[in-house]
């Protein structure tokens, strides 16, 4: 969906400056004049403007340059590193103004050349980061700045929420965008929600901001990530509904507490399942269980999860399951919505 703010021509410059300061202008599209009105392309809906406006979905956007694509990137990168550009796989992630790309080992010696090219290629990139892997237990990314500003702390805006983070120091995946959108649309009005692995608030903040829960308790084990979590609760003005708690969820999560539990950590989540069940109020509620699974085993994995919950003394059924994104060859990051009780 390509959104645009429509304002009267006499208000266009004031609106443009406000949107520019807010980081909301989509630089890939041109500002379009249509009669006495002006369409200003935006990345997402602004919460307010100092002039009257309407929000529309553009029917005929005009692009400032050819639309960005991974194929175009590789095609133009051939002019820098030749046919080796075809070794690139997996696209890129843009988190705030930090562009993240995965480089195969064969291209790592040319990372500086590739980074400088990407900085020119993407109009919104301030830094370019090569990411290699995520250390499992504390979800610490192994990454290196290969071009641009070495301070990679950024503001990422999405679905009316803002996240301050450093993608070189904490985990945040642009590929989980649709799951964050889904959290904002859950039927969680007046519920008490426990987020066992909150990170910077990537799942619980959209839920807290848009789904009208009564309370959200967000637990994070890693102190640096916890600092960003607390800051993001404040940036989104959610102090009245969200509480951040530092520690291991197996030790600090309350019992008999929540109507809904988020388990957004997919490395061996079964270790934390007993605690998630204990946290449900009266042993009933919904658990959003994230895991890694072979695509062909999606249904089988759901059945095994229900059996595991039964072994722990609870009745359960899978209400919904979906693949979030590819994680590795033939491995998928999936989520199961489990109704317990």
What is the reported pLDDT for 243? 98
Residue 190 Ramachandran class (φ > 0 left, ψ -120 to 50 alpha, else beta) = left
The two structure tokens encoding residue 42: 């935006």
- In contact, 279 and 254? CB cutoff 8 Å: yes
Residues 6+ apart with CB under 8 A from 63: 28, 29, 30
- In contact, 341 and 285? CB cutoff 8 Å: yes
**Residue 84: exposed, middle, or buried by beta-carbon count in 10 A (0-12, 13-18, 19+)?**
middle
Residues 6+ apart with CB under 8 A from 181: 159, 206
pLDDT digits (tens, 9 = 90+) for 180-203: 999 999 999 999 999 999 999 999
- In contact, 201 and 229? CB cutoff 8 Å: yes
CA distance 106 to 85: 11
- In contact, 63 and 29? CB cutoff 8 Å: yes
What is the reported pLDDT for 141? 59
Give the chain's residues under pLDDT 50.
138
- In contact, 99 and 116? CB cutoff 8 Å: no
User: Which domains are delineated in the chain?
Assistant: 3-57 (3.30.70.2580), 70-152 (3.30.300.110), 173-340 (3.40.50.150)
What is the reported pLDDT for 133? 52
What is the reported pLDDT for 191? 98
Q: How far is CA 87 from CA 1, 56, 83, 252, in A?
A: 31, 39, 8, 45
pLDDT digits (tens, 9 = 90+) for 233-244: 999 999 999 999
Identify the residue whose tokens are 């641009």: 148
Residue 85's φ and ψ, nearest 5 degrees, are -60, -25
What is the reported pLDDT for 152? 95
């Amino acid at each position: 969906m390509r959104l645009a703010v429509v304002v009267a021509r006499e208000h266009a410059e004031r609106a443009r400056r406000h949107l520019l300061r807010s980081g909301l202008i989509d630089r890939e599209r041109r500002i379009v004049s249509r009669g006495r009105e002006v369409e200003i392309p935006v990345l997402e809906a602004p919460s307010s403007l100092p002039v009257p406006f309407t929000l529309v979905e553009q029917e005929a956007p005009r692009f400032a340059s050819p639309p960005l694509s991974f194929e175009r990137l590789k095609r133009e990168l051939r002019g820098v590193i030749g046919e080796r550009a075809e070794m690139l796989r997996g696209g890129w992630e843009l988190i705030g103004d930090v562009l993240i790309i995965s480089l195969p080992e064969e291209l790592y010696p040319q990372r500086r050349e590739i980074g400088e090219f990407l900085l020119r290629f993407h109009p919104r990139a301030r830094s370019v980061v090569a990411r290699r892997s995520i250390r499992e237990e504390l979800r610490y990314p192994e990454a290196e700045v290969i071009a641009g500003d070495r301070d990679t702390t950024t503001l990422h805006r999405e679905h009316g929420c803002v996240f301050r983070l450093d993608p070189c120091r904490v985990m945040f995946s642009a590929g989980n965008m649709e799951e964050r959108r889904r959290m904002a649309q859950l039927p969680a009005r007046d519920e008490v929600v426990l987020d066992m692995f909150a990170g910077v608030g990537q799942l619980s903040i959209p839920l807290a901001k848009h789904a009208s829960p009564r309370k959200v308790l967000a637990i994070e084990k890693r102190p640096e990530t916890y600092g960003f979590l607390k800051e993001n609760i404040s940036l989104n003005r959610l102090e009245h509904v969200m509480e951040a708690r530092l520690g291991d969820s197996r030790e600090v999560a309350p019992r008999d507490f929540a109507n809904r539990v988020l388990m957004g950590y997919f490395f061996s989540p079964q270790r934390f399942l007993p605690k998630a069940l204990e946290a449900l109020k009266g042993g009933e509620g919904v658990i959003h269980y994230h895991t890694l699974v072979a695509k062909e085993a999606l249904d089988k994995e759901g059945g095994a999860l229900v059996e595991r919950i039964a072994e722990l003394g609870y009745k359960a059924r899978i209400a919904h399951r979906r693949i979030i994104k590819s994680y590795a060859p033939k491995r998928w990051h999936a989520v199961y919505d489990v109704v317990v009780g």
